[in-house]
Amino acid sequence: MKILVTGGIGYIGSHTVVELQARGYEVVIVDDLSNSTIEVLDNIARISGKKPLFEQFDLTDAERTRLFFKKYRDINGIIHFAASKAVGESVELPLKYYRNNLVSLINILQGMLDHEIRNIVFSSSCTVYGQPDKLPVKEDAPVRQAWSPYGNTKRISEEIITDTSKVTGVQSILLRYFNPIGAHETAIIGELPLGVPNSLMPYITQTAIGLRPFLRVWGNDYNTPDGTAIRDYLHVTDLALAHVIAFERMLNGKMKQKLEVFNLGTGNGFSVMQVIESFERTTGVKLDCRIMDRRPGDIEQVWADTELANKELGWKAGKSLDEMTASAWKWEKALAEKRK
């Protein structure tokens, strides 16, 4: 059984490839390495004992994507991660996000239709809910006007997949997940942003290790108990496993309709300051935090109602916030050892 994982050298993609190979799937990765490094490919092999097939190119290149599908005619399904993903950057560079995230998806779906590939799991996001009226947010909550171009690309991508599924043989599972953090228990793979991190957890660990002079906290005037934004943080390996389970739901004919949607989170909301406190508690490292103005595009608070995923997928996030922050620090220290 061969599975294409787009963006499989990236953070969530690499952890998902490890889980797929642990279950015996043959994986082919497509990644342009725009936000990842080729060393991850060897690191996946170190964990799983097998190096995935790998093709480096940009999926917005329609001709190159067409040739890829012509070469790999035996693909049974796709898990699609490849996308630009920084909310703040998307506000500054909207065309980059619309071009990369939407054109790549269209090229992939065309390849699926041309070669009669039926199954796609799509990496979506809780950003499609905007700032929900009711928390925790359920899958049937309204999809709202996005707060950022990044969020809008996820909303539009869902619409593209939905419309394609309606009139073709493609069946789809849209996974709307919240905020993955942490790293593999081996500390061989983890989150490795190129340049200054846009996400909270790598900014925390890079500050703690001395790569950043201080930790920027974007806003402390939200209407939350401590004034900082609240998110549903889940461990990346819990999230990776959910993608495998969703894919197997397709393969085993357990889908109840051609397109399904699931929220993936812990069901708990933690503020930015609570994440910082967890990190300081589990590591003993005190952080120098500086309060900055809010970032454009950031919502105030959101966390998931996970009942549907728990029931239908038989999946539940298992790791605590302290386990997540501790694993992220273990990964950052492993990177520091490499740099010596």
Q: Which residues are catalytic?
A: 150
The span from the CA of 124 to the CA of 300, in Å, is: 19
Compute the distance between CA of residue 340 and CA of residue 335 in angstroms, rounded to an integer.
9
Residues 34 and 192 sit within 8 Å (Cβ to Cβ): no
The span from the CA of 190 to the CA of 178, in Å, is 17
Say if residues 147 and 127 touch (Cβ distance below 8 Å): yes
Spatial contact of 174 and 126, defined as CB atoms under 8 Å apart: no
Cβ–Cβ under 8 Å, residues 264 and 180? no
Give the number of other Cβ atoms within 10 Å of residue 1's Cβ. Answer: 15
Nearby residues of 284 by Cβ (< 8 Å), 6 or more positions away: none
CB 10, CB 35: distance < 8 Å: yes
**Which neighbouring-strand residues pair with 124?**
176
Q: To 10 degrees, what angle do helices 11-22 and 236-251 make?
A: 50
